[in-house]
C-alpha cells in the first residue's frame, strides 16, 4: 500500500499531529525519496563544521510538538555521521519535539553486539545508550546484524526487513531456473532460511572458519547442500570487504554451480570490495540504498534497490499509531 499525500497531510491539517522529517548529510538522496513518498518536504537544516572538527546543527523551522523522524546513514566517516545524528536528536529535544524517532537504515557498530574475549566492549549497546541519552524515544533500522540488538534500547524498536524487496527482484531473475539459496556461513542460516521460504527454493550452507591472525579474512571449507548445475543465490545482511562473499562464490563454482548471484541489504563496500566483486565470477550483486554508494565504489555488476517506500510506510504507521509489523505479514 502506498502512502498517499492526502492521508498524511490530512492528519496535519486537523491539528492533531505534525510529521517532520530531518536528514543528516550522509545520504540526503534517500531522505528526499522518503519525503516524496510521504508527500512532505525534508526540514531545512543548517550544518556547520568548525576548524577543530566540531559540528553545529540548527533547524530552520519550528519543531515544537512535532513527531520528528531523524534519518542518517552511518557511512563514510562513520563516527562523524553518528555524532551528527546525536547532535540532531539533542537539538530536537531542546526544540520541544513531542516524539523523536531515530532512523538508521544501517546501524553503525551493530557487529559489536557481544563479547568474544575478555576486556572487549559491546559497542552496539553503547550506540543505543547514546541515542537514548540524546533524547531518542524510538529507533528504526533495517536488517540489524542480530535480533538481540532490539533489546539494547529501552524503548520501541522498529526492525524492518528488506527481504521482500530483494527477494521479489531475485525471483524475476531466476524464474524458471534451477536455483538454491545459499548461506555464506552458519551465522546467516536463519536469514537464508527466510529467503528459501519466500522463494520456495532449497537451502545450502557454506561451512567456513575465520583466520584468527588476519582481520576480515576467511577460509572456506565445504558446501552442505545441492548446488551442482544450479543458480546459487548467496544472501547476507551486508557486504563489507566482500572477502566472505567472493570466497563463498568460488566454493560454489568448485562444487559445480552454474551461476551465482549475491544479495545483501547493506552495501558497506569497504576497501577492495568493489574491485573484488567486479572481478569475481558472481554475475550480479544486489543491494539496497540503505547506504550511499560513491562513484568510486560503483561497478558494472552492482544493482541498487530503493528502500524509500519501505521507510515511508513504516514512518506513516508509527506516525498514525498503526502497526509496523503489518508491513511484513501475509
Low-confidence residues in the chain, pLDDT < 70: 1-15, 208-221, 330
Q: What's the pLDDT score for residue 216?
A: 59
Q: What's the pLDDT score for residue 330?
A: 57
Closest by CA to 31, choosing from 44, 20, 22, is 22
pLDDT in tens, 87-144: 999 999 999 999 999 999 999 999 999 999 999 999 999 999 999 999 999 999 999 9
Q: What's the pLDDT score for residue 218?
A: 56
Same domain, yes or no: 16 and 124: yes
Using the Cα atoms of residue 13, residue 16, residue 19 and residue 20 in order, give the sign of their dihedral: positive
Region of 244 on the Ramachandran plot (φ > 0 left; ψ -120 to 50 alpha; else beta):
alpha
Measured distance CA(210)–CA(48) in Å, rounded: 42
Measured distance CA(318)–CA(326) in Å, rounded: 12
Q: What's the pLDDT score for residue 63?
A: 97
Domain residues for 217? 163-305
Same domain, yes or no: 114 and 153: yes
Sheet containing strand 99-104, strands side by side = 19-23, 67-71, 99-104, 138-142, 157-160
User: What is the number of structural domains in the chain?
Assistant: 2
Same domain, yes or no: 215 and 249: yes
Same domain, yes or no: 180 and 251: yes
Same domain, yes or no: 189 and 154: no
* Annotated catalytic residue within 114, 208, 295, 301: 208
Same domain, yes or no: 321 and 250: no
Q: What's the pLDDT score for residue 8?
A: 41
Same domain, yes or no: 179 and 80: no
Same domain, yes or no: 280 and 177: yes
Mark whether 208 is an active-site residue. yes
Give me the CATH number covering residue 87.
3.40.50.2020
Q: What's the pLDDT score for residue 316?
A: 97
What's the pTM? 0.91
Grid coordinates of 51: 576548524
Amino acid at each position: 500500500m502506498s502512502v498517499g499525500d492526502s492521508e498524511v497531510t490530512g492528519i496535519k491539517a486537523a491539528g492533531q499531529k505534525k510529521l517532520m522529517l530531518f536528514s543528516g548529510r550522509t545520504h540526503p538522496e534517500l531522505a528526499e525519496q522518503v519525503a516524496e513518498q510521504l508527500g512532505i518536504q525534508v526540514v531545512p537544516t543548517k550544518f556547520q563544521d568548525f576548524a577543530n572538527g566540531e559540528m553545529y546543527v540548527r533547524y530552520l523551522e519550528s519543531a515544537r510538538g512535532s513527531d520528528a523522524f531523524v534519518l542518517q546513514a552511518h557511512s563514510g566517516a562513520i563516527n562523524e555521521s553518528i555524532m551528527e545524528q546525536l547532535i540532531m536528536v539533542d537539538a530536537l529535544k531542546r526544540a520541544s519535539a513531542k516524539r523523536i524517532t531515530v532512523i538508521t537504515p544501517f546501524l553503525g557498530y551493530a557487529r559489536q553486539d557481544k563479547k568474544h574475549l575478555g576486556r572487549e566492549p559491546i559497542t552496539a549497546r553503547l550506540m543505543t545508550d547514546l541515542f537514548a541519552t540524546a533524547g531518542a524515544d524510538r529507533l528504526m533500522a533495517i536488517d540489524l546484524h542480530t535480533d538481540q540488538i532490539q533489546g539494547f534500547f529501552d524503548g520501541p524498536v522498529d526492525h524492518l526487513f528488506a527481504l521482500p524487496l530483494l527477494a521479489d527482484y531475485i525471483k524475476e531473475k531466476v524464474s524458471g531456473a534451477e536455483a538454491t539459496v545459499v548461506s555464506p556461513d552458519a551465522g546467516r542460516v536463519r536469514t537464508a532460511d527466510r529467503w528459501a521460504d519466500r522463494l520456495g527454493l532449497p537451502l545450502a550452507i557454506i561451512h567456513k572458519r575465520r583466520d584468527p591472525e588476519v582481520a576480515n579474512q576467511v577460509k572456506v571449507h565445504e558446501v552442505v547442500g545441492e548446488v551442482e548445475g544450479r543458480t546459487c543465490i548467496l544472501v547476507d545482511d551486508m557486504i563489507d570487504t566482500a572477502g566472505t562473499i567472493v570466497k563463498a562464490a568460488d566454493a560454489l563454482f568448485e562444487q559445480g554451480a552454474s551461476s551465482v548471484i549475491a544479495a545483501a541489504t547493506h552495501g558497506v563496500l569497504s576497501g577492495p570490495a568493489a574491485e573484488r566483486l567486479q572481478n569475481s565470477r558472481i554475475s550480479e550483486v544486489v543491494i539496497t540504498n540503505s547506504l550511499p554508494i560513491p562513484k568510486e565504489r560503483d561497478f558494472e555488476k552492482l544493482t541498487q534497490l530503493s528502500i524509500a517506500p519501505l521507510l515511508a510506510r513504516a514512518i506513516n504507521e508509527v506516525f498514525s499509531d498503526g502497526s509496523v509489523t503489518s508491513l511484513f505479514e501475509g
